[in-house]
């Protein structure tokens, strides 16, 4: 990993490997976030918008906030369970 400490190449040539990997990681993180958001939308729509009315009701919006919080919590519970097994 010592190559990570090498200074980034200055000049207008191709981007440094470090910059490229950073960029890749950012793009991956964005993709993960987008996928997670899509899941949140699907799950919370199913749970909270059971009968779509002419506007989003107060109880629907509060259900959505709780749903988002709980889904994030559920993700934590599941990943902790998985990692507890992996040893």
Residues that bind another protein (CB under 8 A): 3, 6, 9, 13-14, 16-17, 20-21, 24-25, 28, 32, 35-36, 39, 43-44, 47-48, 63, 66-67, 69-71, 73-75, 77-82, 85
How far, in Å, CA of 28 to CA of 11, rounded?
A: 27
We find the least distance from the C-beta atom of residue 75 to another protein, in angstroms, to be 5
We find the least distance from the C-beta atom of residue 59 to another protein, in angstroms, to be 9
Nearest CA among 32, 79, 80, 69 for reference residue 47: 69
Of the CA atoms within 13 Å of residue 41, those in its CB half-sphere come to 6
Nearer to another protein, 54 or 82 (CB): 82
């Amino acid at each position: 990993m010592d190559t990570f400490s090498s200074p980034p190449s200055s000049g207008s040539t191709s981007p440094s490997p470090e910059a490229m990997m950073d960029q890749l990681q950012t793009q991956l993180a964005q993709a993960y976030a987008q996928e997670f958001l899509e899941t949140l939308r699907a799950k919370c729509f199913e749970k909270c918008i059971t009968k779509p009315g002419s506007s989003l009701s107060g109880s629907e919006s509060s259900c959505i906030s709780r749903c988002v919080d709980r889904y994030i919590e559920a993700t934590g519970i599941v990943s902790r369970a998985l990692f507890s097994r992996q040893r």
